[in-house]
Amino acid sequence: QVQLVESGGGLVQAGGSLRLSCAASGSIFSINAMGWYSQAPGKQRELVVSIASDETTNYADSVKGRLTISRDNAKNTVYLQMNSLNPEDTAVYYCYAVVVTAGSGLTHYWGQGTQVTVSS
């Protein structure tokens, strides 16, 4: 069993900043990739950013230059530094990890979600 625990969401004014964290724990052989999805009210879940084991990153165009992903492999933790937030960023943010488990399979795990609300 692998669990992802998220923290760092909250309510901020436009132009403000937040830092999200997501820590993976459990029966992990290695983590192939981690990242963040967002789901705004009435919309589908969308990829915000991913980071691979070789530290290659892939950002949605809407967040380039404002959001930065990083990972601490020793802690199996990924962070999302969110700057210059605007109301369009309001969503539930879900951490994910693609995990190589003891059985050598690739399994996609999700965090519980953390609410980010940006007021104008």
The torsion of the CA quartet 53, 72, 31, 4, rounded to 10 degrees, works out to -140
Q: Which residues, in sequence order, are bridge partners of residue 85?
A: none
Q: In this predicted structure, what is the pLDDT of residue 1?
A: 85
For 96-105, b/e burial (b = at least 16 CB within 10 A) is bbbbebeeee
Ranges of residues in the chain whose predicted pLDDT is under 50:
none
Residue 93: predicted pLDDT = 98
pLDDT recorded at residue 103 = 74
Specify the pLDDT at position 40. Answer: 97
Q: Would you state the structure tokens that stand for residue 76, as one six-digit string?
A: 């199996």
> Tell me, what's the pLDDT at 94?
98
What's the confidence (pLDDT) of residue 68?
98
Q: pLDDT value at position 98?
A: 96
